[in-house]
């Protein structure tokens, strides 16, 4: 209640203060503002004098018209009860938004009517106010009457006392309400307030001020919780209510009060000041509010205010008196419910509180309170007093002197009633549940209705606080806040993304990298796993979008890789080629050796045939083409464009790149597998576009051609200005000559080379093959002749030791072999001459006397002759002579036999002496010691011998007589001789010349008879043919 | 073959619209984008001669050298101007300093080519009001330079006088030679 009053007063105070013209305003001006004092001392100084009068003046009126004033106060209270909630809420945000300095002047002047206008202006607020009004009413219905009285009282009080409170309230209002211009109000307020209030305040408050100053801050810290509930309950209402409050009663506009309440110190101060002047109850209420419970809506405010002005009291109550403590418990109870809001306010409040409220208000509050307290002391309402004992004491003096006896009794009664009502009201107010509960359903409805009717108003009311509210709450209970918001965040983000993706992108963008890094830190593989599958497509996409950029990016990596790979491949090729023994390989090898380059290079060169694509003769200065040569096949190059660009590049190189002072020329531009070779001379230069690598020879030819052209057409070229008709047509022909030599025929010269090489190889082959083939042919012919000759010579085989060889070489035949005689040799020569008369004969046949061979043939002949019956011979070959031994049956046979041996090759003489007839082989045996012939022998054996001898007259015969080994040799010798003689005699008798017969006696057996044989074999005569005597 | 070719240069400060003029003349296009020319850019267009030459040639191939504009840090390389029988020197009517530099460019051109035809082009005339135009034209005159055969206000954006300057220059170059 008190707070409400305060507020109303404050409002009224404000309005006057604001409207400088009004007396109230002047009062206000006089009233010393604790803030002002606190802020600026100079002002307070003048204030003191005026203040006392004002206070005195005010106080008396309050006592007399007390009823009215009380009624007014009640009304105010009622309004306040209704509005405070809204007001506080509204202001609290404002306060929070703008610390201490609200819109001072603007609102204050309007306070009475202006407030209305303001309300009107803000329809939302008006509506809300209307709505809010009904709510409080029902609650307070009981106290309506009282309230009315109070209200009237309050009004009176306000009229009189507004000075103090208004000033404070104004200031507070300003602060509480969104401060439009802080600076202006402050200065005014101080001035007015100072005049009246300061002295009183000083007197009354002195003791209190100190405590308040200390207390306020801590209380704020405590208070906040209590405040919170209000704001929490009806955020919208505040905005409306304050307006409503303003509208009904400009003077006591509740709105200002709440603002004051928010301001904390100010509101309290105002509240206190009001009670002092008019009605103690109000004060009491205030005190109660402080102690136990401020109105439901403004509990926070009240407390704040209380703390501001009575912080000490409250503390004392809490600490010292158990009862107050109980009361205090109530306020504390609400606090817990809404812990957050308090914080909001406190931060803003503190600045305001320390400044003004602390010092000034406490005094005022105490002064009025005390008197009231004293008056009301006995009454129930006084219960609250304990809270502000100090204040009560201070105040009491004032009310007593001012009130008249009659009136006092009446007043006391009234006050008692009022207090009772107030207490009830307070209860209702301070026990939020009682008041709030009925409100609760309505609040929701209100909110809804308000929202539907005027969304903007709700927004404006709520919006300024929201951020702060959220922040506060999250400070207080981080987890709860997170939990509350958590559900919304995903949807909120999704919605925002849908609505304005760019904004989201912009806000998230800068943190994306950090977020990714963090995630990678947390889970190393997660990001790569997430991105991995998309990388391929991303790269592909990027390549499509910006191929060059990708190439640039990848080149350093891939370029090296490819280079390495190519190097390996080339090395492989090289290796393969080197090991291959193809003619091409050999040629390449030779070429590589000769040129001193690697074979691989040659291979590459071979694989890229050189093609001259175009030849341009370009004017050096203008870059215009003088003459050009292009194959008709390929896409034609734009000559003047190329020439111009080349010229520009040349200029660029000369101007910008070449060192100053040096003249360096651009010789070649390479692009891909092609290049432009440049030759400069005179006023022109030659540019040849070549695919592949031009050979040195071609470059030389270029130079020669260019020199020739410059020499011949130098003048024309120098004066060339783009008109080709000024040139002699020969120029083009000369250039064409260069082209003809090479142009457009891919790889001309290499082919010629290979052909020459082929010829060389062929020649070598011919050299090798021809002689060989000739030799082969000739050999074949010779072979045929040889065989012919040899078959012919084979006829002589019988007469030769070895087969005769005929070797034909060239026109010459060589005979080789071994023959026994010159005749055979001659025969062979004759035969060759017969077969191949054209050949020259080299007769190397050797005539050989081979004893073994002769012996062999002799043996063969012997064997052959022995086959005849009657022939029994052995032949022996010694030194060209064959010695025959044996017997022959027929004499004739003997002769022919000897002849056949004589014909054998190599046999020059035959000794047939030992070849005897069979008859001579017989032996004639004798008896022991006898030399007489047996008859049979005479006619037999001896007769045969005689026949032989007769047939072979030239044969001489030796007759040997033998004896056995018995007897003496002498006897045997005689005996042997006799025996031989006997045979000779017979022969002679048979007519044989004795001279052809020779006898000899050998006194022993023949050599071929051994001693172990029978003796009779030794007693014999044998014949031996002697060769014919020579 | 009797071809007729001529090299002409476009000279002027940077961003006066040389490239745009050429683009308008050669391709018939215009773009607001500003792409600074680096070094030299070559374009080619065959222009019809108003009357056949003595040799009976009716066309001339214009090789248009779009030379990097002069900036305060970089002068035009004189070697690019060599052999040019004609030049169009361009200024931006919205930038007075580019107009002031016209004489410098003329001097540069004549220092390289003693003879040669010049056309002055006040470009971007579409950005100027008619009144400003006449004022401008009155202010600048190149009568003292006989080789300046004409002065035109041009606009690559609208195509004003663009073909005309090239055609006229081409005709004059052939006549002179």
Tens of pLDDT, residue by residue over A70-101, are: 666 666 666 655 554 444 444 444 444 344 44
Q: Say what percent of chain A tops pLDDT 90.
A: 0
Q: Determine the 3-state secondary structure of A48 from DSSP.
A: coil
Residue A630 DSSP label? -
Hey, of A648, A649, A726, which one would you mutate to test binding to chain B, going by the most B CBs within 10 A of its CB?
A648
| Side-chain-side CA neighbours of residue B160 (13 Å) | 16
A937: CATH: 3.30.1330.60
Residue A553 domain-assigned?
A: no
Phi, psi values for residue A927, rounded to 5° = -75, 170
Angstrom distance (rounded) from CA A881 to CA A1022: 27
Angstrom distance (rounded) from CA A982 to CA A77: 221
- Tokens 């107010």 appear where? A429
Residue B89 pLDDT greater than 90, yes or no: yes
B115 to chain A: closest CA residue: A721
Q: Tell me the two tokens of residue A887.
A: 């017997």
Strand A871-878 relative to strand A881-888, pairing: antiparallel
Q: Which long-range contacts (CB under 8 A, 24 or more apart) does A20-23 make?
A: A20/A188
A702: CATH: 3.30.450.70
Count of A–B CB contacts within 8 Å? 75
Phi, psi values for residue A725, rounded to 5° = -70, -15
Q: Tell me the two tokens of residue A158.
A: 């306000």
Q: Which residues of A312-327 are buried (b: 16+ CB within 10 A; e: fewer)?
A: bbbbbbbeebeebbeb
Give me the mean pLDDT over the A959-972 stretch.
85
Residue A28 domain-assigned?
A: yes
Q: Which residues of B touch A719 (CB under 8 A)?
A: none
* A943 in the same domain as A819: no
Which runs of E-coded beta strand occur in A604-656? Answer: 611-619, 625-629
Q: Tell me the two tokens of residue A633.
A: 């096949």
Residue A397 pLDDT greater than 60, yes or no: no
Give me the mean pLDDT over the A234-242 stretch.
40
- Tokens 């580019």 appear where? B98
Instruction: Give the count of beta carbons closer than 10 Å to the beta carbon of residue A498.
Output: 9
Residue A375 pLDDT greater than 60, yes or no: no
Q: Model confidence at A219, in pLDDT bands (50, 70, 90)?
A: very low
**Torsion sign over Cα A25, A26, A27, A31:** positive
Angstrom distance (rounded) from CA A1028 to CA A953: 9
Residue bearing the bigger pLDDT, B33 or A236:
B33
Q: Test A648 with B82 for CB contact under 8 angstroms.
A: no
Residue A706 pLDDT greater than 90, yes or no: no
Residue bearing the bigger pLDDT, A989 or A353:
A989
Q: Model confidence at B119, in pLDDT bands (50, 70, 90)?
A: very high
Predicted local confidence at residue A642, as pLDDT: 87
Phi, psi values for residue A914, rounded to 5° = -85, 0
Residue A546 domain-assigned?
A: no
Closest CA of chain B from A652, distance in Å: 8
Contact A641, A614 (CB under 8 A): no
Predicted local confidence at residue A157, as pLDDT: 56
The tens digit of pLDDT for each residue in A151-210 reads 666 666 556 544 444 444 444 444 434 434 334 444 444 444 444 444 444 444 444 444
Contact A706, A618 (CB under 8 A): no
Whose CA is closest to A9, among A268, A351, A240, A375? A268
Predicted local confidence at residue A664, as pLDDT: 72
Q: Test A640 with B5 for CB contact under 8 angstroms.
A: yes
Hey, of B2, B47, B63, B76, which one would you mutate to test binding to chain A, going by the most A CBs within 10 A of its CB?
B63
Contact A71, A149 (CB under 8 A): yes
Q: Model confidence at A313, in pLDDT bands (50, 70, 90)?
A: low
* A858 in the same domain as A843: no
Instruction: Give the count of beta carbons closer than 10 Å to the beta carbon of residue A463.
Output: 11
Of B5, B57, B80, the CB nearest to A648: B80
The tens digit of pLDDT for each residue in A838-890 reads 888 888 887 776 777 778 878 888 888 888 777 777 787 777 777 777 777 66
**Torsion sign over Cα A743, A744, A746, A751:** negative
Predicted local confidence at residue B64, as pLDDT: 93
CA-to-CA dists, residue A429 to A1, A268, A382, A423, angstroms: 8, 17, 17, 9
**Residue A576: burial class (beta carbons within 10 Å; 0-12, 13-18, 19+):** exposed
Contact A306, A285 (CB under 8 A): no
**Residue A880 region, left (φ>0) first, then alpha (ψ -120 to 50), else beta?**
left
Q: Determine the 3-state secondary structure of A701 from DSSP.
A: helix
Angstrom distance (rounded) from CA A720 to CA A718: 6
Angstrom distance (rounded) from CA B119 to CA B18: 13
Closest CA of chain A from B116, distance in Å: 11
End-to-end Cα spacing for chain A: 208
Closest CA of chain B from A623, distance in Å: 7
**Residue A541: burial class (beta carbons within 10 Å; 0-12, 13-18, 19+):** exposed
Angstrom distance (rounded) from CA A270 to CA A17: 14
Phi, psi values for residue A719, rounded to 5° = -95, 5
> Where does a domain end: A871, A891, A917?
A917
Predicted local confidence at residue A376, as pLDDT: 42
In three-state form (DSSP H/G/I as H, E/B as E, the rest C), the secondary structure along A774-806 is HHHHHHHHHHHHHHHHHHHHHHHHHHCCCCCEE
Strand A668-671 relative to strand A674-681, pairing: antiparallel
Q: Model confidence at A651, in pLDDT bands (50, 70, 90)?
A: confident
Phi, psi values for residue A844, rounded to 5° = -105, 25
**Statement: B5-176 belongs to CATH 3.40.50.300:** yes
Predicted local confidence at residue A211, as pLDDT: 42
* A126 in the same domain as A69: yes
* A135 in the same domain as A274: yes
Give the DSSP H/E element, type plus range, for residue B90. strand B86-92
* A906 in the same domain as A948: no
CA-to-CA dists, residue A507 to A154, A493, A497, angstroms: 56, 11, 11
B85 near A CB under 8 A = yes
End-to-end Cα spacing for chain B: 19
Q: Which segment, A241-250, A354-363, A736-745, is predicted with the most confidence on average?
A: A736-745
Instruction: Give the count of beta carbons closer than 10 Å to the beta carbon of residue A855.
Output: 18
Predicted local confidence at residue A66, as pLDDT: 52
Residue A384 domain-assigned?
A: yes
Residue bearing the bigger pLDDT, A753 or B110:
B110
Predicted local confidence at residue B90, as pLDDT: 93
Residue A597 domain-assigned?
A: no
- Tokens 């009560």 appear where? A392
B84 to chain A: closest CA residue: A622
Q: Which residues of A touch B49 (CB under 8 A)?
A: none
Close Cβ partners of A59 (under 8 Å, ≥ 6 residues apart): A160, A161, A276, A277, A398, A399, A402
Predicted local confidence at residue A387, as pLDDT: 43
Residue A216 pLDDT greater than 80, yes or no: no
* A929 in the same domain as A898: no
A824: CATH: 1.10.287.4300
Q: Which residues of B touch A654 (CB under 8 A)?
A: 79
Predicted local confidence at residue B26, as pLDDT: 92
Whose CA is closest to A157, among A74, A78, A81? A74
Give me the mean pLDDT over the A471-494 stretch.
82
Predicted local confidence at residue A1014, as pLDDT: 84
Phi, psi values for residue B114, rounded to 5° = -65, -40
- Tokens 């290049």 appear where? A675
Q: Test B44 with A640 for CB contact under 8 angstroms.
A: yes
Whose CA is closest to A370, among A426, A309, A431? A309
The tens digit of pLDDT for each residue in A585-630 reads 777 777 777 777 777 677 666 665 677 888 899 998 888 998 888 8
Tell me how many domains chain A contains: 5
* A815 in the same domain as A695: no
Q: Model confidence at B37, in pLDDT bands (50, 70, 90)?
A: confident
Residue B72 DSSP label? T
Q: Tell me the two tokens of residue A896.
A: 């022919």
Whose CA is closest to A357, among A215, A256, A213, A254? A213
- Tokens 């030791």 appear where? A801
Residue A481 domain-assigned?
A: no
Angstrom distance (rounded) from CA A385 to CA A1026: 209
Task: Report chain A's mean pLDDT, rounded to a whole number.
Answer: 65
Domain that holds residue A955: 922-1026
Alpha-helical regions (H) of A64-184? 66-97, 107-110, 113-121, 123-132, 136-140, 144-160, 164-176
* A304 in the same domain as A194: yes
Residue bearing the bigger pLDDT, A16 or B4:
B4
Q: Which of A379-383, A802-806, A989-993 has the lowest mean pLDDT?
A: A379-383
Residue A210 domain-assigned?
A: yes
Angstrom distance (rounded) from CA A868 to CA A900: 14
Phi, psi values for residue A628, rounded to 5° = -145, 160
* A831 in the same domain as A737: no
Q: Test B2 with A648 for CB contact under 8 angstroms.
A: no
Residue A743 pLDDT greater than 60, yes or no: no
* A143 in the same domain as A47: yes
Angstrom distance (rounded) from CA A602 to CA A591: 8
Whose CA is closest to A637, among A618, A619, A620, A614? A614
Q: Test B6 with A652 for CB contact under 8 angstroms.
A: no
Residue bearing the bigger pLDDT, A342 or A701:
A701
Q: Test A722 with B82 for CB contact under 8 angstroms.
A: no
Angstrom distance (rounded) from CA A1003 to CA A112: 215
Q: Model confidence at B9, in pLDDT bands (50, 70, 90)?
A: very high
DSSP characters for A808-854? EETTEEEEEEEESSHHHHHHHHHHHHHH-TTSEEEEEEEE---HHHH
Domain-by-domain residue ranges, chain B?
5-176
């Amino acid at each position: 209640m008190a707070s409400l009053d305060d507020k109303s007063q404050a409002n009224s105070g404000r309005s006057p203060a604001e409207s400088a013209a009004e007396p109230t305003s002047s009062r206000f001006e006089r009233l010393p503002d604790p803030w002002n004092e606190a802020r600026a001392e100079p002002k307070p100084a003048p204030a003191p004098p005026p203040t006392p009068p004002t206070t005195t003046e005010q106080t008396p009126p309050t006592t007399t018209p007390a009823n009215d004033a009380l009624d007014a106060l009640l009304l105010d209270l009622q309004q306040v009860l209704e509005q405070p909630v809204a007001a506080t809420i509204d202001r609290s945000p404002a306060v929070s938004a703008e610390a201490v300095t609200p819109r001072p002047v603007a609102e204050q002047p309007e306070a009475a009517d202006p407030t209305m206008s303001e309300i009107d202006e803000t329809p939302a607020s008006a509506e809300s106010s209307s709505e809010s009004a009904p709510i409080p009413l029902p609650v307070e219905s009981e106290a309506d009457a009282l309230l009315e009285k109070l209200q009237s009282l309050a009004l009176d009080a306000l009229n009189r006392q507004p000075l103090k409170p208004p000033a404070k309230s104004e200031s507070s209002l300003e602060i509480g309400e969104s401060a439009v211009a802080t600076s202006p109000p402050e200065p005014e307020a101080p001035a007015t307030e100072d005049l009246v209030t300061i002295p009183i305040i000083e007197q009354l408050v002195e003791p209190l001020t100190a405590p308040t100053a200390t207390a306020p801050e801590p209380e704020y810290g405590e208070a906040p919780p209590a405040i919170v509930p209000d704001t929490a309950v009806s955020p919208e209402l505040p905005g409306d209510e304050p307006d409503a409050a303003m509208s009904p009663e400009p003077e006591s506009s509740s709105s200002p009060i709440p603002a004051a309440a928010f301001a904390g110190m100010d509101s309290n101060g105002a509240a206190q000041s009001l009670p002092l002047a008019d009605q103690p109850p109000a004060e009491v209420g205030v005190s109660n509010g402080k102690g136990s419970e401020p109105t439901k809506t403004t509990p926070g405010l009240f407390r704040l205010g209380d703390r501001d002005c009575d912080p000490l009291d409250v503390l004392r109550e809490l600490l010292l008196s158990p009862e107050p403590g109980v009361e205090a418990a109530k306020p504390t109870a609400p606090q817990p419910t809404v812990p957050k809001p308090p914080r909001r306010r406190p931060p803003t409040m503190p600045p305001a509180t320390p400044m003004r409220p602390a010092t000034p208000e406490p005094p005022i509050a105490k002064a009025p309170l005390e008197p009231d307290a004293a008056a009301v002391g006995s009454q129930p309402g006084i219960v609250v007093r304990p809270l502000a004992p100090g204040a009560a004491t201070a105040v009491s003096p004032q009310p007593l002197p001012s009130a008249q006896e009659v009136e006092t009794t009446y007043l006391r009664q009234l006050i008692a009633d009022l207090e009772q009502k107030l207490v009830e009201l307070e209860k209702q107010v301070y026990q939020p549940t009682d008041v709030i509960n009925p409100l609760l359903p309505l609040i929701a409805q209100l909110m809804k209705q308000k929202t539907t009717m005027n969304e903007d108003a709700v927004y404006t009311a709520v919006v300024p606080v929201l951020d702060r509210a959220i922040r506060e709450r999250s400070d207080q209970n981080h987890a709860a806040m997170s939990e509350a918001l958590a559900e919304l965040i995903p949807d909120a983000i999704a919605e925002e993304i849908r609505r304005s993706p760019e904004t989201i992108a912009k806000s998230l963008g800068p943190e994306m990298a950090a977020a990714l890094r963090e995630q990678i830190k947390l889970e190393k593989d997660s990001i790569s796993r997430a991105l991995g599958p998309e990388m391929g497509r991303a790269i592909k996409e990027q390549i499509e979008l910006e191929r060059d950029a990708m190439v640039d990016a990848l080149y350093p990596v891939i370029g090296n890789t490819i280079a390495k790979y190519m190097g390996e491949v080339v090395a492989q090729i090289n290796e393969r080629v080197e090991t291959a023994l193809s003619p091409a390989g050999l040629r390449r090898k030779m070429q590589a050796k000769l040129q001193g380059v690697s074979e691989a290079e040659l291979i590459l060169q071979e694989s890229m045939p050189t093609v001259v694509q175009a030849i341009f003769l370009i004017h050096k200065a203008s870059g215009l083409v003088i003459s050009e040569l292009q194959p008709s096949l390929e896409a034609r190059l734009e000559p003047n464009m190329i020439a111009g660009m080349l010229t520009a590049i040349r200029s660029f190189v000369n101007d910008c790149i070449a060192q100053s002072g040096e003249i360096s020329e651009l010789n070649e531009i390479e692009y891909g597998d092609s290049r432009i070779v440049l030759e400069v001379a005179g006023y022109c230069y030659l540019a040849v576009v070549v695919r592949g690598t031009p050979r040195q020879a071609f470059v030389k030819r270029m130079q020669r051609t260019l020199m020739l052209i410059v020499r011949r057409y130098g003048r024309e070229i120098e004066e060339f200005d783009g008109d080709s008709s000024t040139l002699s047509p020969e120029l083009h022909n000369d250039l064409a000559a260069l082209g003809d030599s090479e142009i457009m025929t891919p790889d001309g010269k290499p082919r010629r080379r290979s052909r020459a090489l082929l010829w060389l190889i062929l020649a070598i082959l011919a050299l090798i093959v021809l002689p060989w083939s000739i030799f082969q042919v000739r050999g074949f012919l010779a072979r045929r002749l040889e065989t012919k000759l040899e078959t012919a010579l084979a006829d002589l085989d019988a007469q030769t030791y070895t087969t005769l060889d005929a070797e034909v070489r060239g026109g010459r035949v060589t005979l080789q072999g071994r023959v026994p005689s010159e005749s055979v040799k001659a025969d062979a020569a004759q035969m060759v001459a017969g077969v191949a008369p054209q050949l020259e004969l080299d007769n190397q046949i050797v005539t050989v006397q081979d004893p073994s061979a002769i012996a062999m043939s002799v043996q063969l002949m012997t064997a052959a002759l022995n086959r005849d019956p009657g022939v029994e011979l052995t032949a022996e070959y010694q030194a060209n002579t064959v010695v025959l031994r044996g017997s022959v049956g027929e004499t004739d046979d003997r002769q022919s036999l000897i002849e056949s041996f004589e014909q054998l090759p190599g046999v020059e003489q035959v000794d047939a002496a030992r070849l005897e007839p069979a008859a001579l082989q017989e032996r004639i045996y004798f008896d022991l010691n006898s030399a007489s012939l047996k008859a049979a022998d005479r006619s037999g054996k001896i007769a045969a011998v005689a026949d032989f001898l007769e047939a072979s007259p030239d044969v001489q015969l030796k007759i040997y007589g033998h004896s056995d080994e018995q007897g003496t040799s002498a006897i045997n010798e005689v005996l042997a001789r006799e025996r031989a003689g006997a045979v000779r005699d017979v022969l002679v008798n048979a007519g044989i010349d004795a001279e052809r017969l020779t006898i000899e006696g050998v006194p022993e057996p023949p050599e071929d008879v051994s001693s172990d044989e029978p003796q009779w074999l030794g007693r014999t005569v044998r014949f031996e043919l002697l060769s014919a005597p020579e | 073959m009797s071809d007729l070719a001529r090299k002409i240069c476009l000279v002027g400060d940077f961003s006066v619209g040389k490239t745009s003029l050429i683009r308008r003349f050669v391709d018939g296009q215009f773009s607001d984008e500003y792409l600074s020319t680096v070094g030299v850019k070559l374009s080619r267009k065959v222009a019809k001669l108003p009357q056949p030459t003595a040799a009976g040639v009716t066309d001339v191939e214009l090789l248009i050298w779009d030379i990097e504009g002069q900036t305060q840090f970089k002068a035009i390389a004189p070697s690019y101007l060599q052999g040019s029988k004609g030049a169009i020197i361009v200024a931006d009517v919205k930038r007075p300093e580019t107009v002031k530099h016209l004489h410098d460019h003329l001097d540069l051109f004549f220092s390289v080519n003693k003879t040669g035809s010049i056309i002055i082009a006040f470009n971007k005339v579409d950005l100027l009001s008619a009144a400003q135009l006449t004022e401008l034209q009155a202010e600048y005159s190149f009568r003292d330079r006989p080789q300046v055969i004409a002065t035109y206000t041009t606009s690559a954006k609208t195509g004003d006088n663009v073909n005309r300057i090239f055609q006229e220059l081409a005709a004059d170059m052939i006549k002179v030679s």
